[in-house]
Structure 1
């Protein structure tokens, strides 16, 4: 199938592939910059991005804002003029401040999910930053587009459809995630694309649509494009690249994982997700883990009630302490069987 460039306003990605934003610390400036240089859209996850800063435990917000700027600058150095974006979860505490920090650093694109980014247009006013909501249903697209139109006379610059096979926190019930084939999600994708085309006519602008969740290879990409999508978003495949910002042990956990090792978990912040089974998951089932710090991560978190701190669990994992942390992943993580270079993935997908 022919590959048309992905055009987001005046921005153009030679290969219609967006690298999914993966936190904590899995997709930072190193991976995002390498993807952008290869012709795709590189995306930095802002989720607890400052965990390596010396003052993170005492001043997590200041550490995170500082790291957002550092990682965007790092990505720019590698990107060779390519497109750099950030993924900022709506459920993030101080969401508006993260958006403003990224905009002030000159980010090209903000992709936002884990909630409805109703006021995102206002936050990027008078900037060149493009905005893209993540939607999992036709209803969520309707709500966002109607609110953006009514309040700000603005339409999305891009729409990301995130299906049930994606990694991280997901916009589906645990039951839906346990049997993804029963959802007939291709029909949902077609309906969202069709509705987006109607919004294109209304607003007089092109609104590209990319499909995320379960996209691993060229065949998966071709299928998404056959549904009418303009491109795809891939996360899991990029974890086992040499350029990925996660530790070698984290990448090896993906490579070693079998299909039966991937399961649905209930995140302590109230959303279901997908992860690789490990010793940590068994421990948290048996006993509540101590929570010495609050990192002010997600608005839905209740520190006195949760079984473990998700920030600490994700940091432990990305640093390589994989038996003591949470390994979020997409449904196809078991298909990762080797380390590879970003450029080789793009050669396969081009």
Structure 2
């Protein structure tokens, strides 16, 4: 027994595991290439990827595009034959430019959520026309419902004749920004186990039109090999995992960020009201406490990174907070996390993590 492979068009991942794209700066070329080398799909997070560029404030578009291209290039050098993706949030003000840069850099897959990525196929076709080249980048929307899958597919097909190559469906136990209202996060009707079969059923109708399989990849609270087996039994073709990959040697975050995951207790996990207008799951700390106590004040926006950010009302800059956390300065920021972060007890290599997931999967399947 072993994991089944995950096929997205002409791409075949040996393991059905997609490493979630984690910004800001948590999953860059180091983590993405390590996952790809182990047979999974490694993903670079595009959000504020240009944070280290000297002109990030003056020229945010150029800085972010330059940094993204550099990270894709570095990841490809480290993993020449692996499958590498990029996560680009629809809410980014640089969305169109980042998508175009990913296509031109020959990223294998673009994953896109935090809004409905209606323009993805249009940008792909325009880039092919402009460069007089057929780029084969796969387009994968991140959704939270079967309805969203249907709406996206209908719009894409009517405007461009294209359909998504796969879907990632994220449940409310995911880390970071959640595509749910507060009351939906604990509603069983919105659980991953409930929505995966609905999405699978909706996508089946699209596969006939596309003439090939459109895999559904499930994410949000997937922790163990047993979790992978259970969610795939509901029709998912693969899983997306983020939190587990933070506590790896190859993760691009500072060691203090990783240690926050190792030391996390269940009572530390909280839901925050993010400046970008969505609830988010994070580790409670003094920074979040200060925000809730009203000790943070609205700040001037240096980055203009997210179009949905209410800059004049927000008590802090989320980009600055996430950059500080990634660098290990958790007094000036916070760490997003999934609901099972408290189960992590040590930092391991990506190889060790993949092997442990395989063993858990095998042991669970052997019982039946």
Are the counterparts in 1 of residues 297 and 316 from structure 2 also a CA contact under 8 Å?
Answer: yes
Q: Does residue 339 of structure 1 match 2:347?
A: yes
Greater mean deviation of Cα atoms: 184-193 or 108-117: 184-193
Moved more, 40-49 or 5-14: 5-14
Q: Pick closer, same or farther for the CA change 1:220–1:124 going to 2, 3 Å.
A: same
Which residue, out of 197, 200, 204, partners 1:193? Answer: 200
Which sits farther off after the overlay, 180-189 or 35-44? 180-189
Contact 1:165 1:180 in 2 (8 A): no
- Write the distance in 2 (CA, Å) between the matches of 1:155 and 1:108: 16
Note if 1:264 corresponds to 2:271: yes
Equivalent position of 1:117 in the other structure: 117
Identify the residue that residue 334 of structure 2 maps to in structure 1: 326
Distance in 1, matches of 2:355 and 2:187, equals 29
SS at match of 1:322: coil
CA distance in 2, matches of 1:17, 1:185: 16
Deviation at 1:16, TM superposition (A): 0.6
Q: Give the distance between the partners of 2:275 and 2:80, measured in 1 at CA.
A: 39
- Structure 2 spans left out of the alignment, 5+ residues: 129-134, 359-368
1:204 equivalent to 2:220? Answer no
Residue 24 (structure 1) shift: 0.1
Q: Which runs of 5+ in 1 are unaligned?
A: none
Match of 1:53 in 2: 53
Please tell me whether residue 169 in structure 1 is matched to residue 177 in structure 2. Answer: yes
- CA separation of 1:51 and 1:184: change in aligned 2, threshold 3 A: closer
Residue 29 and residue 224 in structure 1: after superposition, are their counterparts in 2 closer, same or farther (change >3 A)? same
Partner of 1:67: 67
Task: Please list, as runs of the form range in 1=range in 2, the aligned pairs for 1:1-350 lying within 5 A after superposition.
Answer: 2-125=2-125, 126=128, 127-177=135-185, 179=186, 181=188, 183-285=190-292, 286-289=294-297, 291-350=299-358
Q: By how many angstroms is 1:294 displaced?
A: 2.3
The 10-residue stretch of structure 1 (189-198 or 22-31) with the greater mean CA deviation from structure 2: 189-198
Distance in structure 1 (CA, Å) of the matches to 2:61 and 2:152: 27
Provide the C-alpha distance between the structure 1 equivalents of 2:87 and 2:173, rounded to a whole number of angstroms: 18
Q: CA deviation at 1:57?
A: 2.8
Task: Write the deviation string for residues 263-308 of structure 1: whole angstroms up to 9, x where unpaired.
Answer: 1101011110000000100111222335244201111112221111
Superimposed CA distance per residue, residues 297-326 of structure 1 (whole angstroms, 9 cap, x where no aligned partner) = 111112221111000000010000012102
Q: Flag the 1:180–1:216 CA change in 2: closer, same or farther, 3 A.
A: farther
SS of 2:331's equivalent? helix
In structure 1, how many angstroms separate the alpha carbons of the residues matched to 2:250 and 2:270? Answer: 26
Residue correspondences, number: 349
Shift of 1:147: 0.5
Whole-angstrom CA distance in 2 between matches of 1:184 and 1:304 = 34
| Alpha-carbon contact 1:36-1:80 (below 8 Å) kept | no
Distance apart, 1:236 and its partner CA: 0.3
Separation of aligned partners in 2, 1:21 and 1:199: 26
Deviation at 1:180, TM superposition (A): 5.0
Alpha-carbon contact 1:31-1:244 (below 8 Å) kept: yes
RMSD of aligned Cα (Å): 1.3
Aligned-partner Cα distance in 2 for 1:80–1:29: 12
